[in-house]
Structure formats: C-alpha cells, structure tokens
Structure 1
Amino acid sequence: MSETPDERPPARPGELPGPLPEEQTGERTGEQSGVRPAERAGGRDERRSGEQPAEPLPAAPRTPEGSGAQLTGRQRLVKGLWPPRVTRAQLIVALLLFVLGLGLAIQVRSHNDSSALRGARQEDLVRILDELDDRTQRLEDEKQSLEGQRTELENSSDQAEEARKQTVEKERQLGILAGTVAAQGPGITVTVKDPEHRVKADMLLDTIQELRAAGAEAIQIGDVRVVASTYLTDAGKSVRIDGQKVDAPFRFKVIGKSQDLTPALSIPGGVVQTLEKEQATVVVQEEKKIVVDALRPAKTPDYAQSSSR
C-alpha cells in the first residue's frame, strides 16, 4: 500500500512520532485556520518587530532651490513685503493721505506768503492801509469825473461844441498814456544804482507795476517812454526796454502824487527791499516838476477797428 502525503510513517516502538515536514505542516495549518502562508509569515514579522510600529522621523526643512542655506529673518521679511500686495482699501487710504498732504502744503505756502505782513510794524501797516484807501479814492474820483462829463454833455445847449471839447481833452489824456505827447507835473525820481549788475528785467518790471498801482500817470526810464505795450528783457549786464539797451544806473522819472508813490516803493517786502537784497542802492526824491519828454510814435492797429457807428 503506497504512502500518501498526509499519512505519517508508523513510529517504532519507544520513539515519539516526528514532526511533519514543513511544507505539510504549513499546508495543513493554512487549510485549518484559513490563513495563507504569506499572511501568516507577515504576522510573524510584525510580532517580531515589536508590539507597536516605530514613529517616522521628522523630515528636514526644505530650503529654496538654488540657495545653499536656510533664509534669514531679514530675507523672509523682504520676501513677505515684496512684491507688494495692494488692496482697494489701501489705495483709497493712500489717495486720501495724498490729498491731505497737498492741502497742508498749500496752507503752509499761503502762511509763508503773508508772513511779511505779519511781521511788519504798526506804522507800516497803517501806511499800507492808507495807500489802499488812496487807490479807492482815486477810482471814485475818476468815476465822478466821467459822470460829470456825461451830465454836461446831456445838459449843454450846444452839445456839439461840448462834445468837441471833451474829445480834445480825452485825446490829450490818451496821448499822455500812449506816450505820443510830452507831459509834465509833480512826481518823483527813482535812481537804481547796480554796481554788481544783479538787477534783472523782472525787478524793473515789478517797479513799474508798483508805480502804476500807486497812481503814476507817466513813466520814463532813461530815454524810453513806458506805455502799456512796453516789454523788458535781459541783455547780459544790461536791460533792453522795448528793444533799446539801457545800462545802470536806471533812472525813473514818474509823474503822479508823490505822497502815494514814495510809500508804495518802501512798503515791507516791496521794491526797495527787493533791490537792496541784490546789493543795489535805491534813491527816491520828490520833485515839484517832472518833465517826461520821451515820445512814442502812434501806431495804427492792423486789425482792431472802432465799433462805434
């Protein structure tokens, strides 16, 4: 009778039965317990390694590619701030701050512009107020004069003759303003000595404007008559007035009320102080008779025509 794999050979008398071959033992054990050899082997490995699996070691921090060391605190701060991430709320706040700063700058500039008058003495302020009152009075007198001429023209029995007289008088006045006729009268002379050649055309223009505002009726600088169309330019160490070269010292002949003209030049921060800052010397003299004899040729306008019919 042949032996089958599952049968054992009979034990001899006095011997214990030997263990089954490993393959047979494994097969039988697997068949009985329902566990495959591979699974059972795995179970033995887990039991041998320990009751609980070992925890994995923490991974080392990664560094940015291309960098040999970990980022410093300053580098992380720069990386967090740039490129900036601007939101809409931040843009609105920035715009409001810009507008606020612009308003403060304008206010400070306006305060600085008026600082000259804030630091002026009481007598200087009184003189400035008197000058403003005189200008107002001159304008009021001119208004009354024009109204009187209109009344005389309307009430005159010979309106044609009255109109002729007023026309002649008006022509004389306009001739003085236009520089086509000579003029004489009380006024002042202003001499500006400039040894350092630092007086420029814009400073002389400021002097002319200040004299006109104070009521000057006729102005002459050197041999040039100053009119409404007069222009000034720099020419090296000299100044050109209407294209004519005028060298220092600059001598102004001005016809007008001297009591108004002199204080207008001497107000704090005015013409005299501005010229003296440029190392120039200004001498103002009041005269009972000033002769302005420099003439300007009358020009016929090319395009402008009278609108009266």
Structure 2
Amino acid sequence: MLSKRPSSAGALILVLLALFGFTLVVQLRSNDSDEGLASARQEDLVRILSDLEARDSRLQSEISALETSQRQLTSGVAGREAALTEAQKRADELGLLAGTLAGRGPGLRIVIDGVKASAILNTVQELRGAGGEVMQIAGAGGRPVRIVASSYFVDAEGGGILADGQGLSGPYVLTVIGQPSVMQTALQIPGGVVASVNSGGGSVTLEQRTLVEVTAVRDAKTLQYARPAS
C-alpha cells in the first residue's frame, strides 16, 4: 500500500511541472507572435515584460514547492518502510526467542541416551552458553518440545523425563540452531557434557549440519498484569 503513494505523488508533480512549463512557453510565443507588439508603446512593453517576470517568479516558486513536497513524500515513505521492516525483524526475533515461530539455520543434532533429566538440563545450559539460539527436544515417544527460557526438565516416574510437563523417553534428540563448531567444542571440553554423560554410562553423538529445523512451537501468551514501563 505504501509503495504506491510515492509513485502517484511523483506522477502528479511531473504533470504539474510539465503544465507550468507549457503555459510559460505558450505565453512567450503568444507575446512574440502578437501583431501589435511591434507597434506597442515603450511603457506597454515594460508592463508586458514585468508581467512575464512576475509569472516566471511564481512558477519557479511553485516548482520549488512541488519539488520539496516530492522529497518529503519520498523521504517519509522510505522512513515508514524502513521502520516497518525493522519492526518486522524485531517481531521475528522475539517470536523465535519466545518459541512462537519455527526456525531454521546451521546447528547441531545431538542424540543423548541413558541419562537423567539433570544431564539434559546441563546440555541445554552449555548450548545456551555457546550461542545456541533456538532449540527443541524430542524423545522416542511424544511430540517435540520447544525449549525456551522457562523450560524445565525433571525425571519422570517409571523412567524417562518430563520436558515442560510432557513425557519423553530416550534416546533424546536435541536440535539446536547456532554456530555448529563452537557448540560442539563447548560440549566436548574436558569434564564437560560429553565426558560426564560417557562416564555415567550414557552416550552422546554430535552431528554438525549446515541446516537444521526447529519445528516445535508454543502458543503465544497473553500477559494479564505486565505493561511497558514507558
């Protein structure tokens, strides 16, 4: 909708400029071709010249005003479009962080088996510290769970874990978007996640990928009490 306005305004301005120029040329030609002009008195010639100069001055002022309006329209539309683009970008980023939008990008696919909920929590925290931006966890049963700032993991009765209240059983598959090499190095440091899981009898496999997809999403929450401070 916005992109059409500057085109319409610009076209109108060009038409008006052309009309003004045409009027000025017609006036000059009319005066040149006037049969009585050659015999006109000196004071009449001075008056005609003065009228032409005054009209030219008015036309120049109107042209300048139209050009200024065109610049303001173009600048205003460009500014609004830039603001809308930035707002959409921020909305997308917040949607990814809140878990309400699916995401894709380079990252890791991590398979962990034979572990308790604490090992999953340690892995998630290590990934966050290494720049993991968007994550989900899936198990042998149940749908994937989007991991957000408020996510929690506890051991479930009878085995498996609860991820944000949803039961999952191993092996657990963590999908995380971020810089693959950095995240893998963080998990493999001496005494880190991989070493801890292996020493506890579990197993971890890491696979770097140029593209992973986090498809699990959460419903957007409506705040009841919080409002912006400004």
Taking structure 1 as the reference length, the TM-score comes to 0.47
Structure (1 or 2) with the greater strand fraction: 2
Name the SS for the 2:221 alignment partner. coil
Name the SS for the 2:122 alignment partner. helix
State the Cα RMSD in Å.
Answer: 1.6
Who is 1:234 aligned against? 155
**1:147-158 mapped onto 2 (5 Å cutoff):** 158=78
Of 50, 74, 82 in structure 2, the residue corresponding to residue 162 of structure 1 is 82
Of 229, 240, 251 in structure 1, the residue corresponding to residue 173 of structure 2 is 251
Q: Deviations 1:276-307 (Å, cap 9, x if unpaired)?
A: 12100100011111010001000012211122
Q: C-alpha distance in 1, partners of 2:147/2:78?
A: 38
Q: C-alpha distance in 2, partners of 1:307/1:214?
A: 32
Q: Deviations 1:5-62 (Å, cap 9, x if unpaired)?
A: xxxxxxxxxxxxxxxxxxxxxxxxxxxxxxxxxxxxxxxxxxxxxxxxxxxxxxxxxx
User: What amino acid maps onto 1:164 in structure 2?
Assistant: L
Who is 2:146 aligned against? 225
User: What amino acid maps onto 1:282 in structure 2?
Assistant: V
Who is 1:277 aligned against? 199
Deviation at 1:238, TM superposition (A): 1.0
Taking structure 2 as the reference length, the TM-score comes to 0.62
Stretches of structure 1 that go unaligned for 5 or more consecutive residues are 1-154
Who is 2:30 aligned against? none
User: What amino acid maps onto 1:224 in structure 2?
Assistant: V
Deviation at 1:159, TM superposition (A): 3.4
Number of residue pairs matched by the alignment: 150
Name the SS for the 2:132 alignment partner. coil
Of 213, 219, 222 in structure 2, the residue corresponding to residue 297 of structure 1 is 219
**1:124-203 mapped onto 2 (5 Å cutoff):** 158-194=78-114, 199-203=115-119
Does structure 2 conserve the Cα–Cα contact (< 8 Å) formed by 1:177 and 1:227?
yes
Q: C-alpha distance in 2, partners of 1:156/1:260?
A: 43
Does structure 2 conserve the Cα–Cα contact (< 8 Å) formed by 1:156 and 1:162?
no
Larger radius of gyration: 1
User: What amino acid maps onto 1:233 in structure 2?
Assistant: V
Name the SS for the 2:213 alignment partner. strand
Who is 2:66 aligned against? none
Who is 1:118 aligned against? none
Deviation at 1:160, TM superposition (A): 3.1
Name the SS for the 1:291 alignment partner. strand
Q: C-alpha distance in 2, partners of 1:230/1:193?
A: 20
